[in-house]
Structure 1
Amino acid sequence: MNATIKNSAIQLIAYLYAFLFIYAAFSKLLDYDNFIVQLGQSPIVSSFALVLSILVPFAELLLSLGLFIKRFRLFALYSSMTLMVLFTAYIFIILNYSTYVPCACGGVLEKMNWQQHFVFNLLFVFMGAVAITINSLKWHTFAVVFGCMVSGSLSMYLLYTISETAMKYQNSFVRRFPPHLVDPLNTAELKFNSYYFAGATDGILYLGNTTAPLLVTLLDSTLQFIGTKTIAVSPENPKMFRPQIKIAGSHFYLYEGSAPYLYRGNTNDWKASLKLNDGYFFSQLQPLDSSKVVLRYNDPETAANIIGMVDLSDFQNNVLRPDLLEKQLDGTFDTDGMILTDLQNKSAQYVYYYRNAYVSTTEYLQIKSIGKTIDTISHPDLKVVSLKNSGTKTFAKMPLLVNRIASSDAGWLFVNSQLMGYYEPEAMWQTSSIIDIYNIETNAYLSSFYLDRFDGQQPKSFMVIGTNVYVLGGTQITRYLFRKTLAQGSE
């Protein structure tokens, strides 16, 4: 090849690379906040968002400078092609292995779809290889070009692998938000804000009502009204003040832990018979099946929270586990949290309110796993005082609430976190609530999604059933379709 033509071709390709990198770098830096958020939401490199948000524009500008200087041009071309291979490998993983497709480009490149961007990058990789090859048509040149391609691809794969492991098991409070939820499919007006989820079975949702405690409202899976049922209690309990209802399969439980008492009945006739009316006071109850329930007792001497299981078909199977909850301060406020049960897997979960921890157990309260939520609050910031007149203990100031409400379904844990993670747009926190998803068996963080607020208020509760998410807020109940495969694919 004529030396003049060869030098002109190399110089042209070098300048094209340089102008591309300059444009891309300044696009990122001029919209830096958006760029770092997009990297933080990337399904590939979330864990390295901060480092990459600085390193990538710096590398692009440095290589651009080298491409303009003849003395460093060849080395800059090697490095530029390697960087472009890395970018291309990133897009390849996005298109073939990612559960969702984000956007992390700036300027005019943002107008391309990912397939077009992939082809665009391949073109620049090819031009870089041509420039390097025509500079020196020797066998070792081809080896170096091949080495650049392999090293760029392997670097991205290694980055992806490390980031995935860090996201799931060493997460430093970085969330991912694949488009899990479809816009609300159904909404039903309830007229009152006193409803709560009592349970669901065979496509029927059951709602209890704190102002009409013996009345159960039935909705189908699309939130169409089916009817109401009134529970008949035998024998009647004079201590009944504000009972709660929970439903599992064809059976229901009517209970009041401050009495205490526990009734059980069948949803075929809605007649409840008394099963327990003595023992420790309890503050929470969740059913495991038609005869077993998990309760949170209050120790009569220390007021500490204790988890227990009652088997109404055989009391000899009852279990009391005073050691299940990890005490850090007083065993009462520091272990405060919520009981959940996964009816499909016959397991129980306990999610702490004021720290980033949860525990999962078998139906007989044997520990299966102890997990952490992705925030960094491992010890609750509690200040407790005793009132002089009554001796009652209470908070000296409201503590930082970490996990507010939660739901458990089919081996997955869904937690409404109250804390903002890194690289999250603050505007979303004004209009939405965050739900984080965990695999209970592996304790891996999977991803997160937003739930709309109701007239500025956070949802009162939510329940996940298969691919449906039901949310109670204000005087409405709303159903969302949950794209569960997005989280499954990220495991």
Structure 2
Amino acid sequence: MKRSLGTTFKKYFVETVCSLFILLFIYAAVSKAMDFENFRAQIGQSPLLSPFANFISVGVIMAEIIISVLLAVPKAKYLALWLAAALMAMFTAYIIIILNFSSFIPCSCGGILEKMGWGQHLVFNIAFLFMAMAAVKLSTKDNGVLLKLCGVAIASAGMVVILFVFSEDIMERENPFIRRFPKASAAKTNMLDLRNYSYYIAGAHGNKIYLGNWKAPLEILETDSNFKYTVKHTIILNRENYSYKAVEVRIHYPYFYVMDGTVPVIYRGLVSNWKASVLTEGKFHFSSIVFLDPNQFAFRTQKPPSGENIMGYGIGYPAPHIQYSDEVFQKQKDGIFDTDGTLQYSDKMQKIIFTYYYRNQYIIAENNLKVKARPRTIDTTVHAKLKVVKLEKSGDIKLSAPPYTVNRNTSVIGKLLFVNSMLRGRYEDEKVWKNATVIDVYDIAKQTYVLSFYVYDQTQNIKMGSFFAADSALYAISGHYLLKYEYGKRINSIIY
């Protein structure tokens, strides 16, 4: 009688476990298949599985369906329980790695488990793993089956560990243009209506943000980091006898600079009184410039007669000693458009950072223009896609078609480079791209991609323009609004 009860219990337990797994896997597979694009995108954002998203998104669904079918076939039920145990061991190992070793914790996904937190996922998976192992044990007289099951579980978990190791290497060194959008990266915390579309961010210091105005070049709008007040300043120049074309104001506290590289002239004054005197004039033309300290600067200019871009370094005023370097930029087509980009400087790293507009590369150079590294950005555009023509009459070099822009604006703070990329990565929602601008963050010291976050449009059909990375937040101009995106713990933990 006892043997009969024991046999009946074993039978019903195994059948119950099989039924539970069938319900779980079928529901999960159908849920994923019905919203496959979203499921694949979630896999693509996983810190473990990003490079393998196409294969794994299909593979998981197929595995769940196949195991469910086998569980319903009496002769295949024993094998199916082994497979179910192996799959649950993989899922369990995945969560353990996510919680303990991953650079960030992504959004959860997976049908019936979607509403659970990661800790609940782990408990749920372990419970089903033990049920599968118990059902296998009760289905055989093999006394060594538990040891074999442990071996299968370890091997299955090991496969996930291998994926994790390879994924990290691929994402850091061979990135297949897959962005990561971890939580707690950056979030909008404030917004100021400027009621004007012509502002740009001239700089920031402490809790003060300074905005320049393209239409009123000598006007500065100052606000605090919480946008509680605004005050306008008017810059007073000691001389104004120049034919200006492109005046720009730059804050490098305690100084501000007023400059026009086409004249060329640079003024400098103190932020405390907004009065500026000519620092240097007529010594060198420049298309972009960064101030390394009060006595040194680096700039980009054009080399006559070809007009190709070169980097220059200067020291001393009002007649600086200038040195030029042909080694910073690497020509691909014309040496003009293909070496165009943005110039930044990291006070923390004491490095000059130049980011190309039309290819996936930025340059890290010393103050003396000696190149230290040429890291890649995460997209795959190695060669600039430009159509350049030379006009016969004038000899001018022009673009014959709109350029394929890769990286637009940039900003540097501490050891981090913030890049406004113009290209949509794999597994990213097209609808989001129509209403947001992406910022990619790179670690200059490690020369690696860190993460990305979106800055959402505030005015329809107008993308984010100027932006500036300050100590605790990123400030951006979107239409006629000034936005504040405070850094989360992921950025704050590595910024310096």
What interval of TM-score do these two structures reach, taking the shorter chain for normalisation?
over 0.9
Q: Which amino acid aligns with 2:158?
A: L
**Contact 2:338 2:384 survives alignment (8 Å):** yes
Alignment partner of 2:15 out of 11, 17, 20: 11
CA–CA distance in structure 1, aligned partners of residues 242 and 23 of structure 2: 82
**Contact 2:346 2:352 survives alignment (8 Å):** yes
CA–CA distance in structure 2, aligned partners of residues 102 and 35 of structure 1: 11
Residue 105 (structure 1) aligned with residue 78 (structure 2):
no
CA–CA distance in structure 1, aligned partners of residues 27 and 418 of structure 2: 42
**Contact 2:245 2:262 survives alignment (8 Å):** no
Which deviations, in whole Å up to 9, do the C-alpha atoms of 1:136-172 show, x marking residues without a partner? 4555212112112212222222222221221222110
Residue 38 (structure 1) aligned with residue 31 (structure 2):
no
The match for 2:177 is 173
The match for 1:453 is 457
Q: Which amino acid aligns with 1:103?
A: S
Q: Which amino acid aligns with 1:228?
A: K
Matched residue of 1:371: which SS? coil
**Contact 2:265 2:280 survives alignment (8 Å):** yes
Residue 321 (structure 1) aligned with residue 317 (structure 2):
no
Residue 278 (structure 1) aligned with residue 282 (structure 2):
yes
**Contact 1:247 1:287 survives alignment (8 Å):** no
Matched residue of 1:193: which SS? coil
The match for 1:206 is 210
Q: Which amino acid aligns with 1:422?
A: R
Alignment partner of 1:142 out of 139, 143, 146: 146
Question: How many Å apart are 1:277 and its aligned residue?
Answer: 1.8
Length-normalised TM-score, structure 2: 0.92
The match for 1:75 is 79
Residue 482 (structure 1) aligned with residue 487 (structure 2):
yes
**Contact 1:377 1:402 survives alignment (8 Å):** yes
The match for 1:151 is 155
Which deviations, in whole Å up to 9, do the C-alpha atoms of 1:386-444 show, x marking residues without a partner? 33443322111111111111111111111111111111111101111111111112221
The match for 1:130 is 134
Which deviations, in whole Å up to 9, do the C-alpha atoms of 1:246-296 show, x marking residues without a partner? 121212222111111222222233332323223442111122222222211
CA spacing shift, 1:192–1:461, aligned 2, 3 Å: same
Alignment partner of 1:266 out of 243, 249, 270: 270
Alignment partner of 1:467 out of 451, 469, 472: 472
Question: How many Å apart are 1:125 and its aligned residue?
Answer: 0.7
Which deviations, in whole Å up to 9, do the C-alpha atoms of 1:18-40 show, x marking residues without a partner? 33222222221122111111111
**Contact 1:385 1:393 survives alignment (8 Å):** yes
Q: Which amino acid aligns with 1:128?
A: A
CA–CA distance in structure 2, aligned partners of residues 336 and 291 of structure 1: 26
**Contact 1:385 1:394 survives alignment (8 Å):** yes
Length-normalised TM-score, structure 1: 0.93
Matched residue of 2:160: which SS? helix
Query: Gaps (5+ residues) in structure 1?
Result: none
RMSD (Å) for aligned C-alpha atoms? 2.3
CA spacing shift, 1:261–1:393, aligned 2, 3 Å: same
Alignment partner of 1:410 out of 411, 414, 417: 414
Greater alpha carbon shift after TM alignment, 130-139 vs 350-359: 130-139
Question: How many Å apart are 1:452 and its aligned residue?
Answer: 1.0
CA–CA distance in structure 2, aligned partners of residues 336 and 478 of structure 1: 28
**Contact 1:177 1:448 survives alignment (8 Å):** yes
